[in-house]
Amino acid sequence: MALDVEKLAIPGVLLIRPKKFGDARGYFSETYNLRAYQEAGIGCTFVQDNQSLSAQKGTIRGLHFQTPPEPQAKLVRVLRGAIFDVAVDLRQGSPTYGKWCGATLTGEAGEQLFVPRGFAHGFCTLVPDTEVAYKVDGFYAPGCDAGLRFDDPDIGVAWPLDGVAALVSDKDAKAPFLRDFQSPFTYEATA
């Protein structure tokens, strides 16, 4: 399985385009292969799959992460619909600390976003009835579950709401701002 991998603006965040093979019946795509992902530089062993359905356009889920000792990397894809997917660097000492990068993922094209440990993750649905699935390399740990405000002006995510009001959970609306967050993640420069 050869992967089309694009490095985004923050090192470590990757946009992946698995190949699709189509004919009159539809298509086939290998959405994950441990060996191919390791060759692409993703050394995680994923241990849990999660899935969500967002009924309304403009639903924002995030910005979520797990803190040590149970951090998680994520491999996100859309099963149906479309999202604008975002990763925010939370690694102290990183030249991109507090910065975000993002990409549009669609069920039709099958793109995936790899979000490393030490990043917050969130997405905004671009169409109704969007289903998102993602793999994580650490089990859910309620005591390590954390988040930041989706509308934090210091992060400044440009959510593509196109005039639609954001629909967020109470938990996400009450999440702390980056300026009030003491990050437990540290940046390790790679050669």
Q: Is 57 in contact with 164 (CB distance < 8 Å)?
A: yes
Amino acid (one-letter) located at 70: E
Distance CA 38, CA 21 (A): 22
Which of the following is catalytic: 37, 64, 97, 187?
64
Is 121 in the active site?
no
Q: Is 85 in contact with 110 (CB distance < 8 Å)?
A: no
Q: Any bridge partners for residue 52, and if so which?
A: 132
Is 64 in the active site?
yes
Write the DSSP symbol of residue 186: B
* Residue 69 CB-half CA count within 13 A: 0
Count of C-beta atoms within a 10 Å radius of residue 121: 24
Q: Is 24 in contact with 130 (CB distance < 8 Å)?
A: no
Which of the following is catalytic: 32, 134, 140, 187?
134
- Annotated catalytic residues are 64, 134
